[in-house]
Amino acid sequence: MYKGEPSEGIEFYNLLFKSDDFNAELGKVALAAGRLEAELMRFLYRNGVKEKVVGSTLGKLVDLGNKHKLFDKNLAIALDITRKQRNYLTHNIYALLTELIDETILKRSNLLDSDVHTYEERAWQLRGNLVALADIISEK
């Protein structure tokens, strides 16, 4: 399907939009992020956090855990990086490809149509990180 030809901006976005494999991975990212959020809520409750937990964003849940010093340094860093990656991948692809935001986590310049696979792989990696973090939190 992909020929290794240049593709940028809206054209590349449309390739992503049409890619069943990319969208399946992105859906799994959403499910894995939801699980991590729920595990963080349960963890915060188990540790006596009284602030509003249900309905809080992933970032707010991570902030609450940090505020109450419930995470060691490595876990805090992993949660923060993964939160940023999740937010970027789920909220900023269109903004990235239309040059509203800078290239940071994903590239937008010098893309080929086959880079749809690269974006799919990034979603796959993120899903794995979200699942691993949810497993870690559930065991604490």
Task: Give me the pLDDT at residue 113, please.
Answer: 98
Rounded Cα distance, 123 and 30, in Å: 10
Task: Give me the pLDDT at residue 122, please.
Answer: 98
Average pLDDT over residues 71-91: 97
pTM value? 0.93
Task: Give me the pLDDT at residue 92, please.
Answer: 96
Tell me: pLDDT of 1 over 90. Answer: no
Average pLDDT over residues 42-62: 95
Average pLDDT over residues 117-137: 98
Q: Residue 66 CA to chain centroid, in angstroms?
A: 19
Interhelix angle 116-138/9-18, nearest 10 degrees: 60
8 A C-beta contact, residue 116 and residue 2: yes
8 A C-beta contact, residue 108 and residue 16: no
Task: Give me the pLDDT at residue 111, please.
Answer: 98
Average pLDDT over residues 111-121: 98
Share of the chain above pLDDT 90, in %: 96
Rounded Cα distance, 86 and 34, in Å: 11
Distances in Å between the Cα of 9 and the Cα atoms of 24, 71, 95, 138 are: 21, 39, 10, 40
For residue 88 the two structure tokens come to 């970027």
Task: Give me the pLDDT at residue 132, please.
Answer: 99
